[in-house]
Amino acid sequence: MSHPAKASEFLQDAAKAKWHDETLWFVRDKRDTISKTIPEWEHLRDLASKIKDNVLANLDEYLVKFEEKATANGIQVHWAKDAEEHNQIVLGILQRHQCKAIVKSKSILTEECHLNPYLEKNGIEVVDTDLGERIVQFLNQPPSHIVLPAIHLKKRDISELFHEKLHTEKGNEDPAYLTHAARLHLREKFLGAKVAITGVNFGVAETGEFVVCTNEGNADMGVHLADVHIACMGIEKIIPRRKDLGVFLRLLARSATGQPITNYNSHFRSPAPGKEIHIVLVDNGRTDQLAREKFKNSLKCIRCGACMNTCPIYRRSGGYSYGSVVPGPIGSILSPGLDVKKYSTLPFASTLCGSCTDVCPVKINIHEQLYEWRQEITKAQGTNAKSISMKIANGIFAVPFAYQVTGAMMRGALKFLPDSITYSGLNIWGKQRDLPETPKETFKDWYKKNRS
Amino acid sequence: MPLNKKIGLFIPCYVDQFYTKVGIATLELLEKLGCQVSYPIGQTCCGQPMANAGYERDTVGTAKHFVETFRDYDYIVAPSGSCVLHIKDHAPAIPGLDKEQESLHHKIFELTEFLTDVLKVENLKGSFPHKVGFHASCHGHRGLRLGSCSERNEPFFSKAKQLLDQIEGLEWVELNRKDECCGFGGTFAVTEEALSVQMGKDRLQDHLSQGVEILTGGDMSCIMHLEGIAKRNQQPLKFMHIAEILNQAIS
C-alpha cells in the first residue's frame, strides 16, 4: 500500500491520530525548550555536521584505523557487505558458542538486516530488552519509531498485552506496575543469555572503542551478564576522536527526547578476561549512498528521531504508514536508495516544509533531498500520464498566449460547471475544501485596463 | 527609499487567475510607498508546481521565459514566499543566461522582506482594528527566513510582525504552534488529501481557539487551502493576504 492510503487509514481513528500528533509534538517541544538552554546550540550542530563531513570524506581510512585499534584491544572485527552476510556472521558466532537464546538491545541496524526472523528460523530465541521494543516484539510488529518503538500504542494496549503475555492483572494500566512486570520478565532473560547483541551509536577511530547509548541500561545489563558481546555497527557510525563525543552526546539526547543526556553512555574497548567482543561492520547499501553526491549527507544521521517528532506528516500518519525500517523524513531519503520502486511514494509524503532540516542535529538537508529524490523517482518511472501533463504544462507556461487561453478556460469552466461536477469524486481538492471564488477578471486583465 | 529604481511586479499564476484583489493590493501598496512599479504583461509561472512534483527538468522553458521577462528590472517583488524561493533555489540553470539568472537571485524579493529590508519601512500610518493571526508559510519562513524558526536557537524576529505592528489597532495574536505547516504543499494537497486536510484543520483550530478574527499570511496558496476548509466547515474566520491588510490600513 502507498503512503497516502496508509495515512488515510491512520486518520480514520481521529481521536487516536490526534493523540499521536500531540504526544510527539510534546517531545518536539521538550527538544525545543532544552536546545534553547544551550547558547551555542547552532554552533554545535554546525560542528557535528562538519565532523561528519570529514568522516564521510575519509571513511575508508577511519574504518581501517578503527579496525586496527579495535583488534589491538582484543576485539574481533568482522566485515559484512550486506544484510545477509551480517546475519550469517552473527549466526556463526552464536553457533560456535552453542548459544540458543540471546538478548538484544535496541539496534535499528539489526532491524534493517531482519536479524530476528533470521535467527529465529535457525532455532535461536531472540529477546529485545528495550521495553518499547519488547512490547512490539510481543505483538510481532516492527518498531514504529526509531527512538520510541511503541509510540503508536496507548497504556491500555500495553496493559492488555501484558495481561496476555506476562499475566499481569486485567485492566491494570499503571505504568509503574506494568514496567515492574516487564522488569521481572526481562531479568530472567538476561540471566539466561550467553550472548548479548547491541547496536553502536559511535565507533571511535582513534581508540577502537565504541559507545552505546540507552536510557534503560538494558545494553549494559545484557552485555555484562553474557560471555560474548556482538556489536552490530553501520560503517557510517565512525567518529574520528573520543573528544568528538563532547559534540555528539550533547546533541543526541536533547534532540531525541529533550533530556540533557542519555542515562547510560557506555564505552566498550576490550573484552573482560575470558569473554569476547565482536564488532560486525555493515555496509548494506551505505557505500552506494556515499557515491550519490546529492544524497550522501543522509549518512550523517545519528538516529535521534527528531525529524520524526517534528514532521507534521509523521505525527499524523504514524510510523507504519511509511512501510520502511526507518520511517519519517530521514527514512524517506534513506529508503529510496535501497529500493527506488518500492519506496517511490515516500519522498512525496512531505510538504517540503523544512522543519526536519532545522531540527536535525547534524544538519542533514532532509527536505532538499526529498525534493531531489522526487526528480530521480520521476526519471526512474519514465514516461507516464503525469510526466506528459508536466511537459504540456511547461509548454503552456513558456508561451504567454497559451497560458492566457488555458487560464481563461480554467476559470470559465469553474464558473459555469455545476457544483455536482466541480465537487465530484474526480475533483480531489473539492472533497473536503471549497474552491476559491472565481473573480470576474484576472489581475492581468485588470492591469491592462487600469495601468497600461 | 529606492524611488528611482525600476520594480517589476511578479504575480504568481494562481494569484493572477484567482486572487485579482491580492495583485491589486500589492501593486497599490508599493505605489503608495513611492515605488515605480510595472507588471510585465507577458509573465506566466515560476515552474514550481512541476518542479515540486519531480519534473524540474521540464521547467527549462518556463524558467528561461521568467529570466527574459524580468532581466531588465532593478528589483522583482512578489506577494509569495513560495514562488520567490522556487526562483532562487529550484529554477534549472539556463545555458547562455547564467549571469542574468544569478543576478536575478539577488534582485527578487518576497513582498514583506522587500518592505522591511529594501524600502526599510518603519513608519506606516494606518489603522486596522482587528485580531490578526499570521500563518507563516513554510517556504517563506524556513526557506527565505522571513522570521525566526521555532526549531532554531535564534533571537525572535518576524518581518510580517515588524510591519503589522506599525498599524494602529491591529492585534497580533500568538498561536500555540507558531510555525507548523498548514498541509497545502502543492500537489501534496491532492496526492495526500486526507493528511493535507487534517493538517489544515489543525492549523485553523489553533487560530480559532486563540480568538483570531482574520487569518493572514504571505502566500495565497496556503490561504486558499485553509480558507477552503474553513468555508466548507462554516468556521467564522476571515482570510486576507498581508498585502490586502497593509493596503487597506494605510489608505
pLDDT at A157 over 70: yes
Taken as a whole, chain A contains a residue count of: 452
pLDDT at B131 over 80: yes
pLDDT at A388 over 90: no
- Chain-chain contact of A400 with B151 (C-beta, under 8 angstroms): no
Q: What is the pLDDT of residue A74?
A: 98
- Chain-chain contact of A407 with B185 (C-beta, under 8 angstroms): no
**Which one, of A426, A27, A4, lies nearest residue B194 by Cα?**
A4
Is residue A449 classed as helix, strand or coil in its secondary structure? Answer: helix
**Which one, of B112, B50, B120, lies nearest residue B81 by Cα?**
B112
Q: How confident is the model at residue A402 (pLDDT cuts 50, 70, 90)?
A: low
Q: What is the pLDDT of residue A382?
A: 76
List the single range of A32-36, A308-312, A384-388, B16-20 with lowest mean pLDDT.
Answer: A384-388
Find which of B39, B45, B86, B151 to mutate to test the A interface (most A CBs within 10 Å of its CB).
B151
Alpha-carbon separation of residue A222 from A47, A118, A131, A193, A196 (angstroms): 33, 21, 13, 8, 5
Structural contact between residues A335 and A324, judged by C-beta atoms closer than 8 angstroms: yes
Q: What is the helix (H) or strand (E) element at residue B33, kind and residue range?
A: none
Interface of A with B in 302-361 (CB under 8 A): 310, 312-313, 316-317, 348-355, 357-359
pLDDT at B2 over 60: no
Structural contact between residues B172 and B183, judged by C-beta atoms closer than 8 angstroms: no
**Which one, of B216, B26, B249, lies nearest residue B126 by Cα?**
B249
Q: Which whole number is the average pLDDT over A267-291?
A: 97
Burial class (CB in 10 A: 0-12, 13-18, 19+), A371: buried
Reduced to 3 DSSP states, what percent helix, strand and coil does chain B have, rounded to the nearest 5?
A: 50, 15, 40
pLDDT at A409 over 70: no
pLDDT at A273 over 60: yes
Q: Which whole number is the average pLDDT over A53-73?
A: 98
Residue A219 contacts B where some CB pair is shorter than 8 Å: no
Residue A390 contacts B where some CB pair is shorter than 8 Å: yes
Q: What is the pLDDT of residue A386?
A: 63
Searching chain B, which residue's CA lies closest to the CA of residue A317? B195
Q: How confident is the model at residue A428 (pLDDT cuts 50, 70, 90)?
A: confident
Number of C-alpha atoms within 13 angstroms, CB side, residue A431?
15
Structural contact between residues A27 and A258, judged by C-beta atoms closer than 8 angstroms: yes
Q: What is the pLDDT of residues B19-50, one digit of tens each?
A: 999 999 999 999 999 999 999 999 998 999 88
Looking at this protein, which amino acid is placed at residue A44? L
Residue A378 contacts B where some CB pair is shorter than 8 Å: yes
Searching chain B, which residue's CA lies closest to the CA of residue A374? B54
CB contact set of A304 (below 8 Å; sequence gap of 6+): A147, A251, A252, A253, A255, A256, A361
Distance CA B127, CA B122 (A): 15
Structural contact between residues B12 and B45, judged by C-beta atoms closer than 8 angstroms: yes
State residue A429 phi and psi, 5-degree precision.
-55, -45
Distance CA B188, CA B225 (A): 11
Q: Which residues of B touch A321 (CB under 8 A)?
A: none
Q: Could you tell me how far CA B250 lies from the centroid of its own chain?
A: 19
Q: How confident is the model at residue A106 (pLDDT cuts 50, 70, 90)?
A: confident
The closest CB to that of A371, out of B16, B52, B192, belongs to: B52
List the single range of A166-175, A217-226, A406-415 with lowest mean pLDDT.
Answer: A406-415
Q: What is the pLDDT of residue A54?
A: 98
First to last CA, chain A: 54
pLDDT at A405 over 80: no
Whose cell is 514516461? That residue is A383
Label residue B5 left, alpha or beta by phi (over 0 means left) and psi (-120 to 50 means alpha): beta
Whose cell is 560471555? That residue is A227
> What's the sign of the alpha-carbon dihedral A84, A85, A90, A92?
positive
Q: To the nearest whole percent, how much of chain A has pLDDT over 70?
A: 90
**Which one, of B65, B93, B218, B82, lies nearest residue A393 by Cα?**
B65
- Chain-chain contact of B62 with A352 (C-beta, under 8 angstroms): no
Alpha-carbon separation of residue B118 from B9, B100, B251 (angstroms): 15, 20, 22
Is residue B38 classed as helix, strand or coil in its secondary structure? Answer: strand
CB contact set of B230 (below 8 Å; sequence gap of 6+): B204, B237, B239
Distance CA A355, CA A357 (A): 5
Q: Which whole number is the average pLDDT over A332-338?
A: 95
Q: Which residues of A touch B81 (CB under 8 A)?
A: none
Widest CA span in chain B: 53
Structural contact between residues A305 and A328, judged by C-beta atoms closer than 8 angstroms: yes
Structural contact between residues A34 and A254, judged by C-beta atoms closer than 8 angstroms: yes
- Cα of A412 to nearest chain B Cα, Å: 11
CB contact set of A308 (below 8 Å; sequence gap of 6+): A24, A145, A146, A147, A314, A319, A327, A328, A329, A330
Range list of β-strands (E), A93-159: 101-104, 125-128
For chain A, the average pLDDT equals 93
Taken as a whole, chain B contains a residue count of: 251
Is residue B134 classed as helix, strand or coil in its secondary structure? Answer: strand
The closest CB to that of A439, out of B20, B185, B188, belongs to: B20
Q: What is the DSSP code string of A347-404?
A: GGS-----HHHHH-TT---HHHHHHHHHHHHHHHH-S-HHHHHHHHHHHHHHSHHHHH
**Which one, of A303, A311, A309, lies nearest residue A251 by Cα?**
A303
pLDDT at B3 over 90: no
Q: What is the pLDDT of residues B171-206, one digit of tens each?
A: 999 999 999 999 999 989 999 999 999 999 999 999
Q: What is the DSSP code string of A252-315?
A: HHHHHTS-SS-SEEEEE-SPPTT-EEEEEEE-TTHHHHHT-TTTGGGGG-----HHHHH-HHHH
User: For the sheet containing A76-80, what is the strand order?
Assistant: A76-80, A276-282, A228-234, A195-198, A101-104, A125-128
CB contact set of A247 (below 8 Å; sequence gap of 6+): A44, A47, A48, A51
**Which one, of B110, B217, B105, B122, lies nearest residue B165 by Cα?**
B122
pLDDT at A420 over 80: no
Distance CA A298, CA A317 (A): 22
- Cα of B29 to nearest chain A Cα, Å: 14
Distance CA A306, CA A254 (A): 9
Q: What is the pLDDT of residue A289?
A: 97
Q: What is the helix (H) or strand (E) element at residue B51, kind and residue range?
A: none
- Cα of B123 to nearest chain A Cα, Å: 27
Q: What is the pLDDT of residue A418?
A: 54
Task: Kindly state the cell numbers that stand for A373.
Answer: 529524490
**Which one, of A164, A163, A139, lies nearest residue A152 by Cα?**
A139
Q: How confident is the model at residue A153 (pLDDT cuts 50, 70, 90)?
A: very high
Q: What is the pLDDT of residue A380?
A: 87
Q: How confident is the model at residue B237 (pLDDT cuts 50, 70, 90)?
A: very high
The closest CB to that of B52, out of A310, A352, A410, belongs to: A352
Structural contact between residues A328 and A310, judged by C-beta atoms closer than 8 angstroms: no
Q: What is the pLDDT of residues A351-384, one digit of tens each?
A: 999 999 999 999 999 999 999 999 999 998 876 6
pLDDT at A322 over 80: yes
